[in-house]
Amino acid sequence: MRHVVKVCRFGIPFFPLDKTRVIHPFVEDDELNDTELELKEQYKADGKKIRKYLDENVTTLQSLTTNFDEFLAEINMNLDDYLKAIQTSISSSKESVEEGSPTKTILRNLTSKFYNVNEVSVQEAAYNLLQLRMVETSLKTIYVSTGPETFRSRILKPKIELAKLHPESSDICQRLD
């Protein structure tokens, strides 16, 4: 069986792990000592290194030949460092929220952080930031008649079919089978 590259079902822009793990943001900077702050900065740099590798090697990763262990070897990182680099990037969205900010500002900051780690079109980003609907289907209503058949609404046949009917025919409605 050939190697298969897994893709996260939630669209998270990190290489999928070998098994499911829950990744939480780091604790606040105030609670970290100098050594831990240095490590956190190193993990931030590692996160940027991972992102750069993923951006530069899209075609290689899409060729379905790389597995997770090979990916870690390519970026010269072990599993623990990889997980901590991801934790740091998750923490960056938490850091973008300032206490007492208006809700719209908080959402705009979080959206900005989200778009920095995800690939979206400019149009999609603009629609989300401006809070516009991306599709009209969210506005449409479809009526489904569920009453007895004798009281249901009927749909006329297309004009082409109506023209083919005998002038005395009363079979002008489509069948809704």
Using an 8 Å Cβ cutoff, are 145 and 152 in contact? yes
Q: Residue 44 has which token pair?
A: 């931030």
Domains of the chain, residue spans: 1-95
Integer CA distances (angstroms), 151 to 154, 170, 172, in order:
9, 17, 16
pLDDT tops 80 at residue 93: no
User: Does the predicted TM-score (pTM) go above 0.75?
Assistant: no
Q: Over range 111-118, report the average pLDDT.
A: 63
Which distant-in-sequence residues (6+ apart) come within 8 Å of 134 by Cβ? 124, 127, 128
Answer whether residue 19 shows pLDDT above 50. yes
Would you state the pLDDT for residue 69?
Answer: 77
**Residue 137 scores a pLDDT above 60:** no
The pLDDT score that the predictor gives to residue 130 is: 72
> What confidence score (pLDDT) does residue 1 get?
44
Q: Which residues pair with 173 in a beta bridge?
A: 156
Q: What are the φ/ψ torsions at residue 30 (nearest 5 degrees)?
A: -60, -30
